């Protein structure tokens, strides 16, 4: 599974690094939301995990996710937020986030959500292919 981690802070990359050597995952770590959007346009990704800082990014969580959805509407986006975030989790889910997690969420739990989102992406892609064929 190809997972793009857009992480303006190094904590999420460090948290998920023990899983980066496993053969079922291919992680791409990018520190900028703008670079993340460019990456999504150029590469085939199964899941995006976004952990944007409040002041060092171009977009807030909702804007970033909506930009992703313009590029790939079916791409699952998991948003990991700090407790200080001003964007409410329910607003992110309403805007199309697959899940909204706290930064204190364990790596194992984040991986669980990545797996569920990746499975959701596979099912959605299969469904779209069946409709168009």
| Residue 54 DSSP SS3 | coil
Is the overall model pTM greater than 0.95, yes or no?
no
Based on the structure, what is the number of domains in the chain? 1
**CB distance 80 to 36 below 8 Å:** no
Query: Looking at residue 24, which CATH number applies to its domain?
Result: 3.40.50.2300
Q: Please list the pLDDT of the chain residue by residue as tens digits (133 residues).
A: 999 999 877 788 889 989 989 999 999 999 888 899 999 999 999 999 998 765 555 567 888 889 999 999 999 999 998 776 777 888 888 888 999 999 889 999 999 999 999 987 654 443 344 444 4
Expressed as residue numbers, the domain containing 85 is 2-132
**CB distance 52 to 61 below 8 Å:** yes
């Amino acid at each position: 599974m190809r997972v793009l981690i857009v992480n303006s802070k190094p904590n999420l990359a460090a948290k998920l690094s023990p899983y980066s050597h496993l053969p079922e995952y291919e992680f791409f770590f990018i520190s900028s939301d703008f670079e993340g959007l460019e990456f999504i346009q150029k590469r085939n990704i199964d899941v995006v995990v976004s952990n944007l800082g409040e002041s060092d990014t171009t977009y807030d969580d909702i804007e970033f996710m909506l930009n992703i959805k313009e590029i790939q509407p079916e791409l699952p986006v998991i948003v990991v937020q700090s407790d200080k975030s001003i964007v409410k989790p329910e607003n992110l889910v309403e805007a199309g986030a697959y899940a909204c997690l706290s930064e204190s969420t364990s790596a194992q739990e984040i991986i669980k959500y990545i797996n569920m989102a990746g499975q959701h992406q596979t099912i959605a892609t299969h469904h779209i292919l069946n409709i168009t064929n």
